């Protein structure tokens, strides 16, 4: 089944080049599927958890099981307990694998993710890992309550215990306990986040501020789990893969600590390599130009469209742009995300026989669109429908533009998150 749910709708014109672009995008999304990555990289043998990390293999001794009469006892183990904590948009899918891999070694766990409660039914039926649905992109009371429950779970740990965490994008909002525990503290975090986002702040600047306001960010969660051993599996959604920035680095201490192992499990590099392989299979001369594309979405979209085109070529980018909202944006009630804005800004400048795809790897570009596709055919269609790309761009309403011209890419929430993916194809 296609990852892109409205794929056939998008193929109503310029079919061959669009189909190729969407197949390349799907190859990238498939490559960063959380469950598939973890099943490839994690396994247990003889009481040891093995984690593939590139060419290396990291091993972690698991506390021995207590067995009585041939049955595993779930009483507190003399050798220590294994607790799993999942945070962010990859957490729910990751938890399913963790339960399978660890089996009886897992004592208990908790996950906070954005997915609907229905998506957690299979997890709940197993009984060991609790699921909390949180809000994003801003924290809420339910996020704070979920965080408090997680902190209760890691109280009074000993040096014999093991905490395994899965940290991914979205965790900055989902996993939160403000230093000021009153409602004012939460409101301050929300308002600060909104102001910084509206000014076009990147994730580095945003999370630097968030760390100062939180009891769990910036390595503080690792400190709360001390003296237990900690292994953190990190799915990067930040440019340059600075793990201290992913979800504001709850397990990344300022100074290295032998008790804490932080392991980068996946990034947009994995997606881009898979996309390159697919594009070459389709006959395109392919280049990965950068994994750290950044800047103003509307400016970059125009710049990419105006590049010199070369026949039968594909250029790939990974990264994360920003949208700087005008002061009157809220009153105008525009909808959309950075990927849709980038595609919209490119439309009037797209050359003949080319396609640009801009998509969020988590399937959620600040809306139920993952992103959008842009080509000359779509621009002509907007003209025929008397829909002005410039007008919708000026009021930051890319979502409704692509709804009307049928250029949105829809996948639903994917349970993966490794920044955004961009493709330019030339016929």
Do the Cβ atoms of 69 and 44 come closer than 8 Å?
Answer: no
* Confidence (pLDDT) at 77: 56
pLDDT in tens, the chain (427 residues): 799 999 999 997 668 999 999 999 999 999 999 999 999 999 999 999 999 988 899 999 999 876 555 555 545 556 799 999 999 999 999 999 999 999 999 999 999 999 987 777 777 667 799 999 999 999 999 999 999 999 999 999 999 999 999 999 999 999 999 998 888 899 999 999 989 888 888 889 999 999 999 999 999 999 999 999 999 999 999 999 999 999 999 999 988 789 999 999 999 999 999 999 999 999 999 999 999 999 999 999 999 999 999 999 999 999 999 987 765 555 455 899 999 999 999 999 999 999 999 999 999 999 999 999 999 999 999 999 999 999 999 989 999 999 999 999 999 999 899 999 999 999 9
| Domain residue ranges in the chain | 7-31+269-426, 37-266
37-266 belongs to which homologous superfamily? Glycerate kinase, MOFRL-like N-terminal domain (3.40.50.10180)
Distance CA 36, CA 33 (A): 5
Q: What is the pTM of this model?
A: 0.91
Question: Are 34 and 416 contacting, i.e. CB atoms less than 8 angstroms apart?
Answer: yes
Please state, in angstroms and rounded to a whole number, the distance separating the CA atoms of residues 391 and 397: 9
Share of the chain residues as helix, strand and coil, in percent rounded to the nearest 5: 40, 25, 35
Neighbour-count burial for 187-226, b at 16+ CB within 10 Å, e otherwise: eebbeebeebbeeebbbeebbbbbbebbbbbbbbbbebbb
Question: CA separation (Å) from 159 to 2, 51, 82, 228?
Answer: 46, 21, 12, 4
DSSP assignment of 126-164 equals H-SEEEEE--SSS--HHHHHHHHHHHHHTTT--TT-EEE
86 in Cβ contact with 113 (< 8 Å): yes
**How buried is 108 (Cβ within 10 angstroms: 0-12 exposed, 13-18 middle, 19+ buried)?**
middle
DSSP letter for each residue of 326-368: -TTHHHHT----HHHHHHHHHGGGPPTTEEEEEEETTS-SSSS
Counting every residue, how long is the chain?
Answer: 427
The pLDDT assigned to 382 comes to: 97
Q: Would you say the C-alpha torsion 400, 403, 406, 412 has a positive or negative sign?
A: positive
Which two tokens mark 347? 């439309």
Cα 321 to chain centroid, rounded: 14
Q: Considering only the top CATH level, what class is 7-31+269-426? A: alpha beta
CA atoms within 13 A on the CB side of 206: 24
């Amino acid at each position: 089944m296609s990852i892109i749910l409205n794929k056939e709708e998008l193929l109503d014109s310029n079919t061959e080049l669009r189909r190729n672009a969407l197949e390349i995008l799907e190859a990238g999304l498939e490559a960063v599927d959380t469950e598939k990555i973890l099943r490839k990289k994690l396994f247990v043998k003889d009481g040891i958890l093995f984690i593939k990390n590139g060419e290396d293999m990291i091993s972690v001794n698991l506390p021995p099981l207590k067995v009585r009469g041939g049955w595993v006892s779930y009483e507190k183990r003399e050798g220590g307990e294994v607790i799993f904590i999942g945070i962010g948009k990859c957490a729910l899918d990751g938890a399913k694998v963790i339960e399978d891999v660890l089996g009886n070694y897992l004592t208990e766990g908790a996950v906070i993710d954005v997915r609907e409660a229905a998506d957690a039914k299979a997890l709940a039926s197993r009984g060991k890992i609790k699921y909390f649905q949180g809000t994003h992109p801003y924290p809420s009371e339910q996020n704070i309550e979920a965080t408090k429950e997680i902190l209760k779970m890691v109280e009074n740990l000993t040096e014999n215990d093991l905490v395994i965490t899965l940290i991914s994008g979205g965790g900055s909002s989902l996993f939160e306990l403000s230093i000021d525990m009153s409602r004012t503290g939460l409101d301050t975090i929300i308002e600060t986040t909104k102001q910084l986002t509206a000014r076009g702040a990147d994730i580095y600047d945003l999370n630097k501020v968030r760390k100062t306001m939180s009891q769990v960010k910036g390595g503080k969660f690792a400190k709360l789990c001390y003296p237990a051993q900690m292994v953190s599996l990190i799915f990067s959604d930040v440019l340059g893969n600075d793990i201290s920035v992913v979800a504001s680095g709850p397990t990344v201490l300022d100074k290295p600590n032998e008790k804490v192992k932080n392991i980068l499990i996946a990034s947009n590099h994995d997606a881009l390599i898979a996309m390159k392989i697919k594009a070459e299979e389709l006959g395109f001369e392919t280049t990965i130009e950068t994994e750290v594309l950044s800047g103003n979405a509307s400016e970059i979209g125009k710049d990419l469209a105006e590049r010199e085109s070369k026949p039968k070529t594909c250029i790939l980018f990974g990264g994360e742009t920003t949208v700087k909202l005008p002061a009157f944006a809220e009153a105008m009630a525009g909808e959309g995300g950075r990927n849709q804005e980038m595609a919209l800004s490119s439309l009037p400048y797209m050359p003949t026989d080319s396609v640009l795809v801009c998509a969020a790897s988590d399937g959620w570009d600040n809306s139920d669109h993952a992103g959008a596709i842009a080509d000359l055919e779509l621009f002509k269609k907007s003209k025929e429908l008397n829909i002005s790309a410039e007008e919708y761009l000026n009021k930051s309403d890319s979502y409704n533009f692509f709804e009307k011209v049928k250029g949105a890419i829809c996948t639903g929430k994917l349970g993966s998150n490794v920044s955004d993916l961009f493709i330019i194809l030339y016929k």
